[in-house]
Amino acid sequence: MPLRSIASAGPGFWGRALLRLLAMSLMAASIGACSLFGDKDAIAPDEPAEKLYNEGVFLLNERKEIKDAAKKFEEVERQHPYSEWARKSLIMAAYSYYSSAQYEEAITAAQRYITLHPGNPDAAYAQYLIGSSYYDQIPDVSRDQSRTEKALAALDEVQRKYPSSEYAGAARKKIEFARDQLAAKEMNIGREYLNKKNFIGAVNRFKIVVTEYQTTRHVEEALERLTECYMTLGITSEAQTAAAVLGHNFPDSPWYKNAYALVKTGGSEPVEDKGSWISKAFKKLGVGSIMSFSAGPG
């Protein structure tokens, strides 16, 4: 029977008072038990945003307890979602997660920051954290390079959206490495095709390096490999052009010496065909004026 029913049925004033005191005692005991045993449904009072934020900074900088710091920063946003402290805490949470190699959490926090505060100067840093989180997960060239592609896309976004920010230069350096990594992947596959005498498959891979990753260190070898493939396939004009472009842009390269020797062995000279896709690719990207090149290396 509910306490109210018991009270109304009690003998007089003192009986009802006693029941009320009993009910209050039971309620107090219940609250005490929640505090004592840590009832998960008990709601703790909000703490000041500045206090939570400073505790996060202390844990991050002084105690080096990075994961705990991230949780403290998230608590600021949870308890004070529309405050300036929440904005600051969100970018600090992203940084804390990144510092502790919790990359997915860092990416999520940084993306949330950009969504909520796209016009804030720290949005550039948030975008850079996204790119860096993917960049730090770039695998060996023998493995899938989807993380590399995501890093490249996110870092390109830093340069495109925030070209004057202090992070654009750092992003550019990482972009160079990411592009080199993707080119190396294509070269690996191309060499495998070449070893298996799948010359068409090899040409397609080396073509990607020449057209998409022309500024990487792999382009010299790619041009030499194209010379080799085209000579084997009997497509002499393309072999001559590949060797000519290689010699014009990288005259001191050991790869040019190999390409030159291959063309000469076939009774030809490295001469450019201006209608070749190789010549057009280099002209399009502004590497330099491609011209006929028949002189030997060295």
Judge whether residue 225 has pLDDT over 90: yes
Q: Hey, what are 73's tokens?
A: 């920063």
Work out the percent of the chain whose per-residue pLDDT is above 70.
80
pLDDT tens digits, one per residue of 66-96: 999 999 999 998 999 989 999 999 999 999 9
What pLDDT is recorded for position 284? 67
pLDDT tens digits, one per residue of 6-53: 334 444 433 343 334 334 333 333 434 444 344 544 445 578 999 999
- Residue 298 CB contacts under 8 Å (≥ 6 apart), including other chains: 257
For the segment 188-216, the average pLDDT, to the nearest whole number, is 97
What pLDDT is recorded for position 220? 97
What pLDDT is recorded for position 283? 75
What pLDDT is recorded for position 62? 87
Cα angle 280, 221, 140 (rounded to 5 degrees) comes to 115
Q: Hey, what are 89's tokens?
A: 């805490």
pLDDT tens digits, one per residue of 277-296: 999 998 765 544 333 334 45
Judge whether residue 268 has pLDDT over 80: yes
What pLDDT is recorded for position 172? 97
What pLDDT is recorded for position 282? 86
What pLDDT is recorded for position 7? 38
For the segment 137-150, the average pLDDT, to the nearest whole number, is 96
The model's confidence at residue 63, banded by pLDDT at 50, 70 and 90, is: confident
Measured CA to CA, the distance from residue 89 to residue 183 in angstroms comes to: 39
The model's confidence at residue 64, banded by pLDDT at 50, 70 and 90, is: confident
pTM of the shown model: 0.77
What's the distance, CA 146 to chain centroid? Answer: 10
What pLDDT is recorded for position 46? 79
Lowest model confidence (mean pLDDT) among 18-32, 133-147, 248-262, 267-281: 18-32
For the segment 257-275, the average pLDDT, to the nearest whole number, is 94
The average confidence (pLDDT) of the chain is 85
What pLDDT is recorded for position 264? 95
